[in-house]
Amino acid sequence: MAFGDQPAYLRVADDLRKKIAGGELPPHARLPSQARIREEYGVSDTVALEARKVLMAEGLVEGRSGSGTYVRAQPVPRRVVRGGFHTAGEATPFRQEQADERVIGSWDAHSEQDEAGAEIAGRLGIDVGERVMRTRYVFQSQGEAVMLSTSWEPLAVTGRTPVMLPEEGPLAGRGVVDRMAALDLVVDNMAEEVGARPGRAEEVLALGGVPGHWVLVTSRTYFAGGRPVETADVVVLAERYRVAYRLPVK
Q: Which domains does the chain have, with CATH numbers?
A: 6-69 (1.10.10.10), 76-243 (3.40.1410.10)
Q: Give the per-residue pLDDT at 76.
A: 72
Q: Give the per-residue pLDDT at 84.
A: 57
Vertex 122 angle, CA 119 and 125, to 5°: 150
Q: Give the per-residue pLDDT at 107.
A: 84
Q: How far is Cα 58 from Cα 7, in angstroms, rounded to an integer?
A: 17
The answer to whether 147 and 234 have CB atoms below 8 angstroms apart is: yes
Q: Give the per-residue pLDDT at 96.
A: 55
Q: Give the per-residue pLDDT at 1.
A: 41
The answer to whether 243 and 168 have CB atoms below 8 angstroms apart is: no
- Tens digit of pLDDT for each residue in 101-124? 555 678 899 999 999 999 999 999
- Tens digit of pLDDT for each residue in 79-106? 766 765 555 454 455 555 554 455 567 8
Q: Give the per-residue pLDDT at 250.
A: 64
Q: What single DSSP character describes residue 30? A: B
Under-70 pLDDT residues of the chain: 1-5, 80-81, 83-104, 250
Q: Give the per-residue pLDDT at 2.
A: 46
Instruction: Give 108: exposed, middle or buried? Use CB within 10 Å, 0-12, 13-18, 19+.
Output: exposed
In angstroms, the first-to-last Cα distance of the chain is 56
Return the number of other C-beta atoms located less than 10 Å from residue 225's C-beta.
10
Q: Give the per-residue pLDDT at 143.
A: 81
Return the number of other C-beta atoms located less than 10 Å from residue 152's C-beta.
24
Q: Give the per-residue pLDDT at 141.
A: 81
